[in-house]
Amino acid sequence: MITIQPENQPQPKGHYSPGVEHNGLIYVSGQLPMTLETREPFTGDIGEQTELALRNVEAVLQAAGSDLQQVLQFTIYVSDMELWGAVNETYARVMGDHRPARAMIPVKDLHFGTKIEIQAIAAVREEV
């Protein structure tokens, strides 16, 4: 088991790792829409929050030598199912033709007042 800690992210404040690689899979902890350099939460537009959270997932995957195209499954926690359309629109733009399995789960509150948190399971990129 290998712990993944992107160089451009500070250590988490909680007792967890941003990612863990095991047996060819990368498990990415829930990523909030945080600015990586400052770890400040972004609480604006849901489209921008969605892209920022996806880019934070991407940063963990890249630190593990993988990328968004290797994602097998996303779990998306959203503060209001009314946001589903806007989340899906941004998600589709970022992900392009790649369509991993996905669940979207409504939750009452998310940390720092953000509206979305995204976790992922991805394959390790195969060497060509």
Residues whose CB is less than 8 angstroms from the CB of residue 96 and which lie 6 or more positions away in sequence, other chains included: none
71: pLDDT strictly greater than 60: yes
Using one digit for the tens of pLDDT, what is the confidence trace for 28-39? Answer: 999 999 887 777
Specify the number of domains making up the chain: 1
pLDDT at 43: 76
Measuring CA to CA, which residue among 103, 105, 88 is closest to residue 51?
Answer: 88
Q: What is the pLDDT of residues 73-103, one digit of tens each?
A: 999 999 999 999 999 999 999 999 999 999 9
Give the pLDDT band of residue 10 (cuts 50, 70, 90): confident
DSSP conformation class of 7:
T
Question: Is residue 98 classed as helix, strand or coil in its secondary structure?
Answer: coil
- Give the CATH number, domain containing residue 86: 3.30.1330.40
pLDDT at 36: 73
Residue 128 lies in a domain: no
Compute the average pLDDT of residues 16-33: 94
**What pTM, to 2 d.p., does this model score?**
0.93
Please give the Cα distance from 98 to 95 (Å, whole number). Answer: 6
Tell me the backbone φ, ψ of residue 46, rounded to 5 degrees. -65, -30
Residue 124 pLDDT grade (very low, low, confident, very high; cuts 50, 70, 90): very high
Q: Is residue 128 pLDDT above 60, yes or no?
A: no
- CA–CA distances in Å: residue 3 to residues 33, 110, 118: 21, 25, 19
**24 found inside a domain:** yes
Per-chain mean pLDDT for the chain: 91
**Sign of the four-CA dihedral 25, 27, 33, 39:** negative
Domain that includes residue 6, residue range: 2-123
